[in-house]
Amino acid sequence: MNIKVIVWQEEDVWCAKVPALSGCHTWAENYDDLMVMVKEAIEGWLEVAHEKELPEQKDNEQLVEISL
C-alpha cells in the first residue's frame, strides 16, 4: 500500500501529515525518525478507525481489508 505524506521542516523539527487520513500527523527531530513516526501514526490511525463503527455501505460498495 502506498500513501502520500506531506513532509516539511519548521526550524529544527520535521513534520508530516497524511491528507487521506484526517487528523493523522506527527513530528520528529530528524527526517529518519519522522519516517518511523509517520508509519506508526498511520498504523495507529487505521487501528482506531477499524475499532470505530463502520459507516453504512451502499449496495455497490464492499469492505476490503489490506495490510501495510
pTM: 0.72
**Mean pLDDT, all residues of the chain:** 87
CA 3, chain centre distance (Å) = 8
Q: How far is CA 64 from CA 24, 40, 49, 50, 61, in A?
A: 21, 21, 14, 12, 10
> What parts of the chain have a pLDDT lower than 50?
none
Report how far residue 56's alpha carbon sits from residue 63's, in angstroms, rounded to the nearest whole number.
10
